[in-house]
Each structure stands twice: as C-alpha cells, then as structure tokens.
Structure 1
Amino acid sequence: MKGTIQNINDHHCLLYLPPNYNALDINYPVVYINGDNNMEEIINSIESHFDVDCSTFILVTIESKNWNHDFSPWPAPALSKNSEDFSGGAYEYLSNLTNIIKPFIDAHYRTKTEPEHTIMIGYSLGGLATLYSLYLVGTFGKIGSLSGSLWYDGWIEFMSCNSPINNTTKVYLSLGKSEERSRNQRMAKVGNCTEKTFSILSKQLVSSQNIMLEWNNGGHFTEVTKRFIKALLWLMHI
C-alpha cells in the first residue's frame, strides 16, 4: 500500500505500508531512505522476502530539498566549476528527521519506535549523512550507507575524533569496485576512505559482527536498486 504524505516540515515524504497492514493489528519497524529514491522498484523486489528472510517493514522516503545542503555534514567546495558548493546542512536535516518526521510517522502509523527497529539508509551523499547520524543521535539502530560519499573532505578525521552515540548500531557499507576510478581526485579517494571507515567503525562498534562492507560490480550508478535490496536483506534479516 503506497501513499503520499505532503510537507512534513516542508519535506515531501512517500510512504509504503506492508500488504497486511490493515488486516493485522501489529507494529512494524520503519526504514527511512534519504532522498527520493525509486520506492516502487525497491518494494517490488523485496516484498517476496518478507517474513521469509527479511522482517516486514514500513518504508518512508524523504525527498531532499537541496541534496548538497541536506546531506553534507559541514561546508566543502564544489566538486566542479559547474556544481554547487556543499553547504553543510546535514545536522539540520537529521534534526528534522529525528524530531519532526519520525514522531509524525510514529504518531500516525503502527510503528516499533525503538532504535533497533528504526533504520536509515542513503545512497551517495545520502549515505554519508546516515553515517554522520551515528555521531549525533542514537535514534537509528541500523544504518546503511550505499556507495557513500566517504571521500568527503574531513570525514575520516571526523570519525577518528568522535564516537558513535549508540555503539550497538548495525552498519552496512557498500561500494562499486569501479567507483574509485573517478577522474575527480577527491572522489577517487572513495575506495580507500570506505575501507578506512569500515576499519574505524569495526573498532568503535561493540562487535565486528555489527558491520558489513560489501563490494559490488560496476560504478556509482550501477544496479542501484539491487544495492538497496542487498542492504535491506542484511539489515532486516530475521
């Protein structure tokens, strides 16, 4: 069951409710996806896994008002002359998600509200924002960063100087094997930075079993939906 929720604090959110939502009087985990991703394709691919090897969940995608603002943790220069600077609005975005959007969803739908049942996933810069949330709030007990922009200026240094709020969080990382072949010198660091992120988190989290790094074939835009499915199956494994 799909529907549109308009303007939760000026964020356009698309909602998915599981097939038996109206028939069963139970509460569900909630997966929040940073950015307006292809919800229909993701749901069509994963519904057959529900209650077999994946917990059934409510899904909320949150459209970004400004990608380079909402998902960047602090200001940084643009990647090219023709693109915008990164203006560092992730704190504001995550505050809205934690304090306004999530409470709205919890108040209007049957959700499991605890961190272990609250999941956030993002792709590219949206994946960086999911990891940034680890050091700001303990709201999300499961995190997915898919092809995350972990090349971002100062990211590794930030991780090294801070600790996750909730060190029992489960973290899924993935990257395409060809992504570090970028002609952009900053983006070309993504493979090395992803491995460093995995190494740092392996020490910061309570158990090495709480983190996964999966390498995919192709570049940044290869089989994006399949990468979402892989992340969800690992994070929501029964």
Structure 2
Amino acid sequence: MKGTIQNLNINEHHCSLYLPPNYNILDVNYPVVYMNGDNNTEEIINSIESHFDVDCSGFILISIESKNWNHDFSPWPAPTLAKNREAFSGGAYEYLNNLTKVIKPFIDTHYRTKTEPENTVLIGYSLGGLATLYSLYLFGIFGKVGSLSGSLWYDGWIEFMSSNSPINTAAKVYLSLGKSEERSRNQRMARVGDCTQKTFSILSKQLISTENIIMEWNNGGHFTEISKRFSKALLWLMRI
C-alpha cells in the first residue's frame, strides 16, 4: 500500500482515514468514499490502489466504526432474528444525519475533497448496505452508493422503496449478493435473493437511467471474500 491509514475520532465515532498516494505531494482534491462499519480497510485498499488513475479515480476513504450495528444501520424497528440476538432499533436516520451533518463537513474542512454528490460515495455490507440504500431516500448528498450483500430482506424494505423516491435520481447504485445467501435457514433472511432482485428492479425505474445501476452475483455465502466484494464495488463506482 502506497497511501496512508490513520485513526481519528469525529463526534465520538472512531474512524479510519485512508489518504491516497501523493496526497501530501500533489495539490489536488479527491473524491471521498464513506464506508459504513469498521471493515478491513487495508486489505481493500491493497487490492484496488494499483487501479488508481488507470481504471478508477484515486479517492479518500473514511471507514466509520458502528457504535451499535443493529441500531445504526436499521431504518426502523424490527424484531430480532433469533431469541438470543438483539432486536433492530431503527437508528439509521440518526446515524446518517450525523454522517451528513457532522462527519462529512469535518472531512471536507480538514482535507482536500471534492464535495459534490457525484464525488461522494457511501458503501456498506450487510445491514450497512441496507443503510446506504436508505440514504438515497433521505439525502441527496451521496451520488454513488454501494450495497454489498445488503440486508434487503429487512421487514418493510420493499414496501418502503415502492412508496418513496430517491432524492437524487441521478445517483449510481451498485448491488451485489452471494449466490448462496438465499439458502439461509432463517425464513426472513432467505428472502434476500428475491428482495435484492426487487430492489434492483424498483431502482432501475426510479433512477434516470438503467446505466446507473448494476447488480452482480458473487460465489459463496454472506461471509465469502468480503474485501474482494468491496474492491469490485469500488472499481465500478469509481471507474474513470
């Protein structure tokens, strides 16, 4: 890895900040990728950095650690998936509002960023991927969104999409899912394949162009090659 990663705290959120190669040498501004959850930033960057300025734009990346996964990334309250698990408490609006009103302004103030929606990306995995899509219906600030193995089985999600419209209909959306994920023994989670395809269909009609959305199927289940799936998504979202 030629760029650098450092830790910082923004409004009590622990974040990892990646700055691309030559950030401290060249006086240029960069697109910014915001990542829901504390994912393996270094592994993701290692697999994509060589593509900068060839296949995709170089970018700043902010990985935001969740204080409470089931709260921060759930759009509204929903029952637990199992008796020994925590219920979903519906705190995604609170989290996304903090992201847009506090974290992004901090990054834009302290680092050389391109601030326009087309240069502002939100990406997430699992429930964090659901939250990225939810943001499309709340804020117009994210012009590129990636939902990887998103929890699109979530109670009421398809109904919500069907009765609302994205604020920024020019947004670009990347969806992906593992081919084995819909084989879950949990009846709610087993709906993820059907719900992901319905999500793709609905967004294809809501966005201004079908070229703005893609859906990719990956081999394996929910926990297969997660970093590789992030890299594939970022290469598409940040392509030159």
* TM-score, with structure 1 as normaliser: 0.99
- Distance in 2, matches of 1:156 and 1:207, equals 20
Letter of the structure 2 residue corresponding to residue 92 of structure 1: E
Aligned residue runs from structure 1 range 87-98, under 5 A: 87-98=89-100
1:41 aligned onto 2:43: yes
Of 66, 71, 74, the match for 2:73:
71
Matched, 1:204 2:206: yes
SS of the aligned residue for 1:79 comes to coil
1:2 to partner: Cα distance: 1.2
- TM-score of the superposition, structure 2-length normalised? 0.98
For structure 1, the 5+ residue unaligned runs are none
Q: Deviations over 1:131-186 (max 9, x none)?
A: 00000000000000000000000000000000000000000000000000000000
1:218 aligns with 2:215: no
Cα deviation, residue 9, structure 1: 1.4
Structure 1 stretches (4+) deviating beyond 4 angstroms? none
Question: Which aligned pairs between 1:169-208 and structure 2 lie closer than 5 A?
Answer: 169-208=171-210
User: Per-residue CA shift, 1:94-119, capped at 9, x if unaligned?
Assistant: 00000000000000000000000000
One of 11, 17, 20 as aligned partner of 1:18: 20
Count of residue pairs the alignment pairs up: 237
The equivalent of 1:3 in structure 2 is 6
Amino acid at match of 2:8: I
2:117 to 115, 121, 124: 115
Q: What is the Cα-based RMSD across aligned positions, in Å?
A: 0.4
Tell me how far apart the structure 1 counterparts of residues 234 and 16 of structure 2 sit (CA, whole Å). 18
The one-letter amino acid paired with 2:71 is H
Deviations, residues 17-40 of structure 1 (Å, cap 9, x unaligned): 001000000000000000000001
The residue type paired with residue 95 of structure 1 is: N
